[in-house]
A and B are shown apart, each in its own frame.
Chain A
Amino acid sequence: MAIFNLKKREIECKVVYYGPGRCGKTTNLEYVFKSYKKQVTGEMVSINTEGDRTLFFDFLPIGLGKIKGCDIRVQLYTVPGQVKYSSTRKLVLRGVDGIVFVADSLEVRREKNMISLKDLQSNLKEYGKSIFKVPLIMQYNKRDLADEGIPLMSIEQMDRDLNRQLKVPSFPGSAVKGTGVGVTLKTCLMETLKSLQREFKWAK
């Protein structure tokens, strides 16, 4: 849950990048770290296993400056994708305020996207949260691979697979190239702050 210090007019909230293994969550965060120097307020920490797989999570703190008189700080996290780290995913998800679901556009990863979204839903449920109510943004990543003749799903198909019921904002992206990374995060932050405002009325 977001931490409010209304006296100092500070808010610290938590955004988690979720999605199947190897879909590009860490790459998203790396791009944010490289490209938003002004907003980044600390080191990006990645806890990896051998072979650059995210083991526990990546962490990157950013600051948005003052919004409606409140100093907004955001902690960005990614979760590990491999099935065996399900308890870590749950720990990292605790108290989440906003979520970016990164889906892999590769045709061969179609089912993995759906399994991961289902996993997100059930983990949220265990925290008493509904996937329909939590601020959630989708990113259809790796769109750049279309140029290399690798079979990708169409945006329409991905919307049908993942977003038919949820109807959340979705963006195509290429985390390695940086396309769509900024708009995904910005939209997620906007939704997150709106939802915190509805709940806690922090902005005057």
Chain B
Amino acid sequence: MDISLQIKSLLNEAELYRAQGLFPEAKDKYHAASVMIHKIDKLKNKDNLLKAISGKIQSLEKKTEKVETGPSSPELSEKGQNLIKNLFGENDLQKAVALAKFGQFERAIVELEALLRDDVYRVDAGKNIIRCKMAIASVDDAIDQYHQWLAGDLFNGHQLESIRTYLQPIIDRKGIDKILPVPVSEKDEINTGADSGGIEFSMPEPEEEILDITSIGITFTSGTHKGKMVEFDVNFQSGGTLSLIISKNDKGLIEELKKGDDLDDIQFYSPIAMFKGTAVVANKTRIDTGPKQGDFCLDLKVTST
């Protein structure tokens, strides 16, 4: 091919890649073109051409940098945030957590704080507030938040203890030398050992080993669903016990499960990791009242991960 045609075709390619946002590819082609132009001795407007190309390359470099250094999860419009809530969460807690997963921490905190008033969601909302604070600020902020809750009366001792056992291992993992104070009422229980709640906390397998699990996939190893994996959202978690609300429409999936059954193939999904493990059915109850009437509540005790 005629060299000027070759150059023209390279520039043509470069221009198209640039227009399509393929900046590194465009840059390569501009480079190749300018190498070729350099080699031609008598070209009328050689200098101008080379200057124009190097200008293009510079602007591409700027654009590339902008893309690469741009925030990976900028604050979205309220409309965008609402969409995320509706598409990625079913209940209010999941909706707030979805915001956090998409990096919308400020709004997530606002929504989670509102959920602190709700008995059902309080502890999980608290843990997720801690998680958001660590994401946008620092572990110190999360620790401050714990101290604030400890001084206030929003949480009872049991609930606070659950938050403490969530946060302390994170602090430890980060190598920060800080010990969160145990809520007073919990200390009493542990000391007297009279209450079963207290004994539970001094059990050899501490709750803190279990990450927050947002959903699980159960692969049935027997029965009509044998070999099939079904995903369920975890509605509540208290340490190693997961509660799933299973809609009456899906009750066929859990019909054959009964208390004491072992589930040997479970995939756990948590915001920071996914892992396999086993669990035992701790309880299966039909919800008889309220908006979830007719649905089932399945409690699973995680036995190993």
Report the Cα distance A148→B13, complex, angstroms.
9
Tell whether, in the assembled complex, residue A82 and residue B267 are in contact, meaning their CB atoms are under 8 Å apart. no
Does residue A146 face the partner (Cβ distance < 8 Å to B)?
no
Whether B87 lies near A22 (C-beta < 8 A) is: no
- Could you say which of A65-73, A83-91, A162-170, A185-193 contacts chain B? A83-91
Report B256-299 residues with CB < 8 Å from chain A CB: 267, 274
**Do A150 and B16 form a contact, CB below 8 Å, given A108-B25, A127-B231?**
yes
What's the Cα separation between A199 and B230 when bound, in Å?
11
Are A50 and B66 in contact, with the CB atoms below 8 A? yes
Let me know if B249 and A4 touch, CB within 8 A. yes
Say how far A185's CB is from chain B's closest CB, in angstroms.
20
Is A17 close to B, CB under 8 A? no
- Taken together as a complex, chains A and B put the C-alpha atoms of A51 and B21 apart, in Å, by 9
- Interface contact A51-B17, CB-CB below 8 Å: no
In the complex, the answer to whether B72 meets A145 with C-beta atoms within 8 Å is: no
Q: Which residue of B lies closest to A87 (CB)?
A: B101
Contact assessment for A49 and B16 in the assembled complex, using a CB-CB cutoff below 8 Å: no
Contacts of B72 in A (CB 8 A): 84-85
Closest to B219 in A: A128
A151-B13 contact, Cβ under 8 Å, with A51-B21, A56-B84, A84-B72? yes
* Chain A window 47-62, contacts with chain B (Cβ cutoff 8 Å), 1 for yes, 0 for no: 1011111011001000
Query: Considering the chains assembled together, what is the distance between the CA atoms of A35 and B88 in angstroms?
Result: 27
Judged by a CB distance under 8 angstroms, whether B102 is at the interface is: yes
Chain B residues closer than 8 Å to A88, beta-carbon distance: 102
In the bound assembly, the distance between CA atoms of A22 and B230 in angstroms comes to 33
Q: Is B63 an interface residue (CB 8 A)?
A: yes
CA distance A7 to B12 in the complex (A): 58
| Contact pick for B22, options A108, A126, A151, CB 8 Å | A108
Bound CA–CA A191/B20 (angstroms): 31
The total of Cβ contacts below 8 Å across the A-B interface reads: 78
How many chain A residues sit at the interface, stated as a range, is: 35 or more
Distance (whole angstroms) from the CB of B86 to the closest CB of chain A: 10
Flag whether B157 is at the interface (Cβ < 8 A): no
Given the complex of chains A and B, what is the CA–CA distance between A150 and B25 in angstroms?
13
Q: Which residues from B are CB-within-8-Å of A87?
A: 101
B76 interface neighbour in A47, A53, A59, Cβ under 8 Å: A47
Kindly list chain B residues whose C-beta atoms are within 8 Å of the C-beta of A55.
73-74
Verify if B3 is at the interface (C-beta below 8 Å from A).
no
Specify which of A91, A106, A128 is in contact with B229 (CB 8 Å cutoff): A128
Residue numbers in B under 8 Å from A7 (CB-CB): 249
Flag if A22 contacts B219 (CB, 8 Å): no
- Residues in A neighbouring B102, C-beta threshold 8 A: 56, 88, 91
What sequence of 0s and 1s flags, for each residue 32-59 of chain B, a beta carbon within 8 Å of any chain A beta carbon? 0000000000000000000000000000
User: Of A49, A91, A129, which is within 8 A of B88 by CB?
Assistant: A91
Contacts of B231 in A (CB 8 A): 1, 94-95, 127-128
Measured CB to CB, the closest approach of chain B to A105, in angstroms, equals 12
Interface centre among B9, B230, B249 (most CB of A within 10 A): B249
Contact with A along B1-13 (1 / 0, CB 8 A): 0000000010011
What are 7 of the A-B contact pairs (CB < 8 Å)?
A22-B21, A49-B74, A52-B21, A59-B87, A87-B101, A108-B22, A128-B231
Known: A91-B88, A94-B231. 20 other contacts (CB 8 A): A1-B230, A4-B249, A6-B249, A22-B20, A22-B22, A45-B83, A47-B80, A55-B73, A56-B102, A59-B83, A84-B72, A87-B101, A95-B231, A108-B25, A108-B28, A109-B22, A128-B217, A148-B16, A150-B12, A150-B13
